[in-house]
Chain A
Amino acid sequence: MLKKTYILLCMAFLLQLTAFGQVTTNMVHIRGGSYIPLYGRDSSMVEVDDFLMDKLPVTNRQYVDFVKQYPEWQRSKVKGLFADQMYLRNWKNDTLLEDTEHLKSPITYVSWFAASKYCECQGKRLPTVDEWEYVAMADEELADARVKKTYNEKILSWYEAPKTSTYEVGRNPENFWGVKDLHDLVWEWTSDFNSILITGESRKDVDKDSSLFCGSAAVGVTDLMNYAAFMRYAFRGSITARYSIKNLGFRCVQDVPVE
């Protein structure tokens, strides 16, 4: 019964979206293409279709609205199966943030289940690892800035900077696609974050899946870019779908309907 209403609600939302002509101003169009992911070795090209991506990570304010609309995702009501006890830990109660938090900061302490459901209810979905990485390899000027030394250094320095999750979203310039904050605020959930099996023993992963990991410990000397990617993959490998973590948020994407 409840589930039905729930689906109906989601559907209604979807319809509404369609009615407004799909592209909301908060999303940007990403032109698909093929690329070799950061972790790739030889010719393991990845194809990405056109899609729409949220310009910004989902904010606390947006998530507050979400749990008001879908009380089953409030902290006291969420099923243990779908989120660990850290879920929305920085909230005062089911619908209010702690005073120290900002409405414009990215939502964190959310599980994969919660993030997926949020996107679903907006008529969207979480990006795949391939989609996320495709957009994330752009800087302000280039769609693929990985060749630039400064690009990799900038990302690495963010990975080292402590406590960035409390910043407001949108503080960084748009990248080539018009997307912001991919690297500088929080880690972001992807739909298939755990499809790459890493054991946690990074040095052993060398022979685990050679097309993905050409040896984290034996990284090609010229291939500095791998370090930033390795850190993302290490992070994704360390989490499970129930985890709710301080530095982990998300944004949604949407397919472009085939004409």
Chain B
Amino acid sequence: MKTQPNFLRLYFNYKLALLALAFITLTACSNKEKSEPKDAEDIPVSREMIAELTAPPHVPTPVGRRKAKKLIVDMEILEEEGEMTNGVSYVYWTFGGSVPGSFIRTRVGDEVEFHLKNHPDNKLPHNIDLHAVNGPGGGAESSFVAPGHEKVFSFKVLNPGLYVYHCATAPVGMHIANGMYGLILVEPEGGLPLVDKEYYLMQGDFYTKGAHGERGLQAFDMQKAIDEKADYVVFNGKVGALTGDNAITANVGETVRLFLGNGGPNLVSSFHVIGEIFDKVHVEGGDLINTNVQTTLIPAGGAAIVEFKVEVPGTFIMVDHSIFRAFNKGALGMLKVEGEENKKIYSGELRDDIYLPEGGGIQTMPEGDNVVQEAPLQSLEEQLERGKQAYMQTCFACHQSEGQGIPSAFPPLANSDYLNADVDRAIGVVLNGLTGEITVNGETYNSVMTRQSLSPSEVANVLTYVYNSWGNSKKVITTAMVEKVRNQK
């Protein structure tokens, strides 16, 4: 509006050359204000562009304000052996060499020219069904490609949102179960609002001939897949893809956006970040925005975008809150946040008080308290039996039934050099908890064990059980030893 008088003034005051310049400025301005055609189908494309593809957990650069383009997507299918977890390998079928496949980032109106290449070493034909495509089979029909060949097809993206793509060649379930899925994002005109950090996570369930953790190359188990009895439920294709050194990171005060998908083939994900609340969720990856969400559901073959600001430092565990999948099957990732503590938002532990429900109110137990509890003498057998019970109730969830722990998340107790090296230290860990980096059997762990609510005799029993199991040093811990460590503090 305001340019009009300016323009008129220019017209009267300056020469023709300047007029032309002003005219260009004007057109540029008016173009900016004018939005694109209402119908995504009519959005014109200018120029060609090679799509940036990224392996998880990374995502390509945001589209920002760029215009719709002809986008060339070059994707190669590879069948290759990879690691499912320590000592367990699996033959993955992949889009672009990773599970999930390469992330594709487009904007509404883009005309995608898709090149699907099936590596000559591959054994099987494949294709791709992109949920972002309007057309039969989502492209599957036009992309059915034999090993050593390349198929090309194109489509215009019309609906903004986050979409799953996957292979749809018979047997479809098997192709998906072997890792053939990924995400394609269609940003609205002008792009999604910019945030500080963006990551790409996709859940999948795996079915292996051997049980969870059985070593060696594991074949796909069709019967388990049909029965929907997953051996592994993981983020980004393997156990530990997002823990330890592979954890995703952010700084205090930053807003994190996660592009979440679920390849299935069978299970639905209840995605939750322990200790965070999603400020914003694009429900099922679409336009609907929900706010202040604790856990969001991601259907198999579906997606969601979640955003949250991280206020305090620490390690935030991402899980499928169908919780046995997280602690026993691998669906666990970590977000490490660095920065200043904020005691107002989260204080950490302030006090440890004794709670006596009957009379007397609340008493505070002073530090260095010297009370010795009467503990009846027990035989070693009794100690082991009670220790095992306490273990199954308190320790099992993280350290697992055979003390094997969970790679990159929870250290093993079986054959543990850290455990056997120092008994008093081990007692202290159970009594007081342990936070920070430790090295166990050559692997580095950096997580949190809380203090355990066990009586000194229970601590003695559980540690005796642990020391007398799984190849450990067979030490016997007495209540007196526990008391000694407790009173040192």
Contact = CB atoms under 8 A, between A and B. Distances in A.
B79 A156 contact: no
B136 interface: yes
A224 interface: yes
A79 interface: no
Contacts of B120: 86, 245-246
Contacts of A244: 148
A243 B146 CA distance: 9
B121 A231 contact: no
Contact of A200 (B127, B148, B178, B209): B127
Interface in A124-154: 149, 152-153
Interface string A158-174: 01111110000000000
Contacts of B220: 156-157, 160
Nearest to B220: A160
A95 interface: no
A69 interface: no
A214 to B, nearest CB: 12
- Interface size bucket, A side? 35 or more
A237 B144 contact: yes
A161 B223 CA distance: 18
Interface in B316-346: none
Interface in B184-202: none
Contact of B170 (A149, A221, A230): A230
A216 B144 CA distance: 15
A147 B452 CA distance: 54
Contacts of A156: 219-220, 222
Contacts of A230: 170-171
Interface string A48-82: 00000000000000000000000000000000000
Nearest to A160: B91
A235 B168 contact: no
A206 B145 CA distance: 20
Contacts of B121: 162-163, 246
A91 interface: no
Interface of A: 86, 149, 152-153, 156-157, 159-164, 187, 198-205, 216-217, 219, 221, 224, 226-227, 230-231, 233-235, 237-239, 243-247
Interface of B: 79-81, 91, 120-125, 127, 136-137, 140-149, 168-174, 178, 209, 219-220, 222-223, 226
17 contacts: A86-B120, A160-B123, A162-B81, A162-B91, A201-B168, A216-B170, A217-B170, A227-B171, A227-B174, A227-B222, A231-B124, A234-B169, A234-B170, A238-B145, A243-B146, A244-B148, A247-B123
